[in-house]
Amino acid sequence: MAQRPPWIPPIPAAALERLRLALRRKTPSDGLGIHLRRKQGQSLEFREFRPYQMGDDIRHIDWVVSARRPRMQPSDLLVRSFEAEEKMCLAVVLDLRPAMSLPNAAPKLLVALWWMLALVRIAAAQGDDILLGSIFGPQDGCPVKLRGQRAVAVAEALAGRIWQARDQGDASATPRAVTQALGAALKPASAVVVISDMLFEDADGAVARLARTAQAARRELLVIELDSFASELAQPGMGAPLLRAAFEGRPAAEKAGPLETAVQDEARRAMQTFVEARRKQWQAGGLYWPPARQLAATQKAMAEDFTTSFPRDPVLRALLARGTP
């Protein structure tokens, strides 16, 4: 029996399908969510102007264009017609910084790939369009559009390539994000899921602009924050003096020193402050950013946690429900 590649989600495909059906039945509809908007039979994709007909929604009359008509008769009124959009577009954006490959024993990237592939499988089963993109990675600006059952196979192949290339980046350099192509590829009424530890520098605001784009045009931005702070501290040898290597623009330490509890606490507080500031920066309509997921220290424990927590994850429930919680 062939061994399952590590980037394949530890949840079987059939279980994901059952999970999708169960959540759709049970999740309450308490507002206009992403799916509900799409089910109106209309979209925000403009198609053409056409003469007003009795029964048309008066809110679709374009008064400015109609006023330019020579005579202002009811039959001269023009209404906007839109492309009928029956499918959702799910955009999954991965953070592919070298930091996502840490810790080596239980990389955050692995959980990110599990999330990506699980969401792709669910979306493909619903017939939704899928857009896969990345920030800080080699796939910057090259989003991949998928649809149908073949989307799963393509996404798995893509995940394999990402996993194999995880150690090829320069960890010491400050990563730069290029997000224009990804922002342009986002359709209206998309659900954009960003999977990251959210600890990246965004000095030029590229990621922030992508976030604003993902929240505009009736889109929603959902953030899956992965926190590996505890798992990295639990790795073997962390109690001994360490020599910090250069990382993300920070030079290497010249002397070795123990990672004492006070230092850990200080770093923890700094991280929380940093992430809270980012949360406030991105705060706008359509943002759903639940608390971070604490990752385990081994791949096996991570897989067990993922299998247990994924069906209950608020981001998944928000995606499948008729509205965000």
- Among positions 145-204, residues that touch another protein (CB under 8 A) are 171, 197, 199, 201
What's the min distance (Å) between Cβ of 35 and another protein?
Answer: 35
Token duo for residue 212:
């604003």
Angle at CA of residue 204, ends 202 and 209, nearest 5°: 80
In the complex with another protein, the residue whose CB is nearer, 84 or 253, is 253
Q: Does 128 bind another protein (CB under 8 A)?
A: no
Q: For another protein, which residue of 141, 298, 307, 311 counts as binding (CB under 8 A)? A: 298
Q: Which of 34, 5, 297, 302 is nearest to 188 (CA)?
A: 34
Subset of residues 56 to 95 that bind another protein, contact rule: CB under 8 A: none
**Among the residue ranges 13-21, 113-121, 260-268, 315-323, the one whose residues contact another protein (CB under 8 A):** 260-268
Regarding 263 and contact with another protein (CB under 8 A), the answer is yes
Single-letter amino acid, residue 213? T
> Contacting another protein (CB under 8 A), which of 42, 81, 235, 307?
235
CB 91 within 8 A of CB 133: yes
Count CB atoms within 10 A of the CB of residue 123.
28
One-letter amino acid for residue 256 of the chain: A
Distant-in-sequence, close-in-space partners of 316: CB < 8 Å, separation ≥ 6: 23, 119, 122, 310
The rounded distance, in Å, linking the Cα atoms of 96 and 166 is 8
Give the other-Cβ count within 10 Å of 70's Cβ. Answer: 6
Task: Assess 297 for contact with another protein (CB under 8 A).
Answer: yes
Cβ proximity to another protein, 89 vs 94, nearer residue = 94
Q: Which residues bind another protein (CB under 8 A)?
A: 98-100, 102-103, 105, 108, 171, 197, 199, 201, 228-229, 232, 234-238, 240-245, 247-250, 252-253, 255-257, 259, 263, 266-268, 270-271, 274, 297-298
